[in-house]
Amino acid sequence: MKFMKLGSKPDSFQTDGNDVRIVGTELATDITIHVGEVKFHLHKFPLLSKSGRIQKLLASPTDSATDIHLNDVPGGATSFEICAKFCYGTVVTLNPHNVISTRCAAEYLEMHESVEKSNLVYKIDVFLSSSVFRSWKDSIIALQTMKTLKSWCEDLKLVARCMECIASKASVDVSKVEWSYTYNRKKLVPSVVPKDWWVEDLTEIELDHFKQIIDAIKTKARVSYQVIGEAVKTYTYKRVPGLSKISVIQGDAKVKTLVDTVTWLLPSEKGSVSCSFLLKLLRAACMLRCAEACKKELGKRIGRQLEEASVNDLLIPTIDGEVTIYDIDMVLNIVEEFLMQDNGGIKEMERPGMNFCNTKGTVAKLVDGYLAEVAKDRNTPLSKFLYLAEMIPNESRPIHDGLYRAVDMYLKEHPNISKGEKKKLCSLLDCRRLSPDACAHAVQNERLPLRLVVQVLFHEQSRTSASASVSAGSTRADNSSVVTSYGSSRSAATTTTTEDDSWDGSAPSVEDGEKRHTTNGDGGDLISG
């Protein structure tokens, strides 16, 4: 930490109780200055020699010549005392913790060069430029002290100067970083400075200052969007450790401001932060009732990297007054945003080993898993369930095991839906895209319409016959094993509800005959008529 000593005389200021300061000299004091609750018994001459404000006050006939009240000194009595000691030539030490408040107090007291050469304002400005604002950690300390003197610091351009120093240092090539910094994460190579070396130090800064620094770093365009995204994420988690917990954030105006601010602060590039983090932000934005524009922006970002999400990430609770447990409309908007990428809406560079066709398959499984969860809510409207299921393109769902599980769960939790509604629901399924395990489960399932069960049996017989021509004995043994493992609730054997719930829908690769059928419609003919 840098510091500067001013003056050479011993400290003659004495304390008489907590609220009185007296200069201990042979000469009697001839002026009392009140700063808040503290009285300073001083001498006029040292003050008049360096403070333009004191000169004006003592020259005014409306003020007492011996009793002056200065209740609005920036930094209060502590900063005023440093200025007063400077006037006496007493030794004072300036450092990043007190230099900003002292600079503001000196400005208030008009301790300029026009009053006396090498006055306090000049000396502090030299110290700031040559020392404090050249140091990474000192600049951050100084910036933190500005939050209680915001208007003064902004008028004196101290905030702008300090933040420019921080942004410039954060933007330098890592090979040129020679100063100390805070970095608690594990370094891959101890001797190498990590690209995000500056991220943790900025978590101590107030939100408005953090925003301005990140904006300045973006403008310089020398830091990657991944590192900037990491900075925003780290700052958010440091400020709100329980970001996705209702008990922590609900009704908190400061958290609401933070969520809105960091949403717009994130780099525009896909992948600047994880999809999981974006979904946590969205969950918080919903619980805090943030502006629709904020939630819409997060939805767009999530849609562009939806393949990274998990089912639990998508289970965003509804706010008070809603009927359903989870916000299905929000997920509908996210999936719609994802699908826009295939319609010329957004074209991004694909990640190595990934293409959009593979991504759509991943999202199809994600949506099917989400449908299985929301199906457990008896207030989930069939219309929304159907709409979300049908949003996924036919070719993106070559296997219907996950969709079958979701449909079966909806039938289980909504036993009173009409025959027509059940027909619409089951029309989502194409038995030719069910794995052998799923088919074996379906033929036992008393919740399914009989016509669909017949279609499943017919398909299984066709598949068995085709396989028999290659390896009849092996195929018969495999099928016998599958059927035996499930039993049949439609025969004398019984199938418990536990077995229905525990079926995990894991399936082998779809057969060639099934792949050819994927382009022949959505399977609605299975229960038609």
pLDDT, one tens digit per residue, over 360-419 is 999 999 999 999 999 999 999 999 999 999 999 989 999 999 999 999 999 999 999 999
Q: Is 442 a residue whose pLDDT tops 50?
A: yes
Per-residue pLDDT, averaged over 494-514, amounts to 37
pLDDT at 498: 36
Helix (H, G, I), strand (E, B) or coil at 199: coil
Tell me which DSSP letter residue 317 carries: B
pLDDT, one tens digit per residue, over 345-357 is 444 444 444 566 7
pLDDT at 229: 97
pLDDT at 353: 47
pLDDT at 319: 84
pLDDT, one tens digit per residue, over 74-126 is 999 999 999 999 999 999 999 999 999 999 999 999 999 999 999 999 999 99
Q: Work out the pLDDT band at 469, boundaries 50, 70, 90.
A: low
Show the tokens assigned to 165: 């120093």
Show the tokens assigned to 101: 């408040």
Q: 45 or 464: which carries more pLDDT confidence? A: 45
Q: pTM of whole model > 0.85?
A: no
Q: Is 526 a residue whose pLDDT tops 80?
A: no
Query: Residues 113, 117, 119, 123: is their CA dihedral positive or negative?
Result: positive
411-417 LR contacts (CB < 8 Å, sep 24+): 411/447, 411/448, 412/375, 412/447, 412/497, 412/500, 413/375, 413/376, 413/377, 413/378, 414/375, 414/378, 414/382, 415/447, 417/382
Round the average pLDDT of the chain to a whole number and report it.
Answer: 85
Q: Is 479 a residue whose pLDDT tops 50?
A: no
**For residue 454, how far is the Cα from the chain centroid?**
50
Total residues found in the chain within this entry: 529
Query: Residues 328, 334, 337, 342: is their CA dihedral positive or negative?
Result: negative
pLDDT at 66: 82
Helix (H, G, I), strand (E, B) or coil at 222: coil
pLDDT at 343: 64
Name the amino acid, one letter, at 465: S
Per-residue pLDDT, averaged over 302-317, amounts to 95
Q: Is 445 a residue whose pLDDT tops 90?
A: yes
pLDDT, one tens digit per residue, over 236-246 is 999 988 786 76
pLDDT at 251: 64
pLDDT at 63: 52
Q: Work out the pLDDT band at 127, boundaries 50, 70, 90.
A: very high
Per-residue pLDDT, averaged over 307-316, amounts to 95
Residue whose structure tokens are 């069910």 = 434
Q: Is 487 a residue whose pLDDT tops 90?
A: no
Per-residue pLDDT, averaged over 266-288, amounts to 94
How far apart (Å, rounded) are the C-alpha atoms in residues 356 and 256? 35
Q: 21 or 506: which carries more pLDDT confidence? A: 21
Q: Is 478 a residue whose pLDDT tops 80?
A: no
- Residue 505 backbone zone (phi > 0: left; psi -120 to 50: alpha; other: beta): left
pLDDT at 519: 32
Show the tokens assigned to 223: 């830091």
Picking from 16-30, 259-273, 330-344, 495-509, which range would have the lowest pLDDT averaged per residue? 495-509
Picking from 162-171, 194-203, 283-292, 511-520, which range would have the lowest pLDDT averaged per residue? 511-520
